[in-house]
């Protein structure tokens, strides 16, 4: 209930509401999709997608998103790219040049590299997000970027 309330448009600038959403994803992302016996109409697909979408609209500092992003990177699948880890990748690399400049970028990219399910060269959807971030959609090439300071 608190998560739904925190997503209200009127609370867009409310730091406590944003903190509630960040903590919900960080600590409950894996269970969030099972919170409802019947999903309310606003949550037609995975509820965590909508929480993340709300956060990406509110939070422009990726460092603040990092704990939730790490949690999501660990549990996501390749099929969630367009609603979850793709938008997070774009948020992590807003310059779009693929340069790993911050520890937050390095940590998130490292979590994506660690999730083997995300690296399927026959699945085309991730390509657009990696291009937007300026990164190659190749696991080994991304792994090299996280080891080079």
User: What does the pLDDT profile of the chain (149 residues) look like in tens digits?
Assistant: 788 788 888 999 999 999 999 999 999 998 887 776 776 666 667 889 999 999 999 999 999 999 999 999 999 999 999 999 999 999 999 999 999 999 999 999 999 999 999 999 999 899 999 999 999 999 999 999 998 65
Predicted model pTM:
0.90
Rounded Cα–Cα distance for residues 53 and 62 (Å): 14
Long-range contact set of residues 89-92: C-beta below 8 Å, sequence gap at least 24: 89/129, 89/130, 89/132, 89/133, 89/135, 90/129, 90/132, 90/133, 91/56, 91/62, 91/65, 92/62, 92/133
């Amino acid at each position: 209930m608190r998560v739904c309330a925190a997503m209200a448009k009127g609370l867009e600038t409310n730091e406590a509401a944003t903190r509630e959403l960040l903590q919900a994803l960080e600590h409950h992302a894996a269970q969030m999709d099972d919170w409802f016996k019947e999903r309310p109409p606003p949550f037609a697909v995975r509820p965590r997608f909508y929480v993340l979408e709300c956060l990406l609209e509110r939070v422009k500092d990726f460092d603040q998103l990092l704990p939730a992003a790490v949690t999501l990177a660990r549990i996501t699948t390749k099929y969630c790219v367009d609603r979850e880890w793709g938008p997070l990748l774009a948020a992590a690399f807003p310059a779009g040049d693929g340069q790993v400049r911050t520890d937050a970028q390095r940590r998130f990219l490292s979590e994506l590299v660690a999730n083997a399910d995300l690296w399927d060269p026959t699945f085309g959807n991730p390509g657009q997000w990696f291009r937007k971030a300026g990164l190659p959609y190749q696991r080994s090439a991304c792994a090299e970027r996280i080891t080079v300071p």
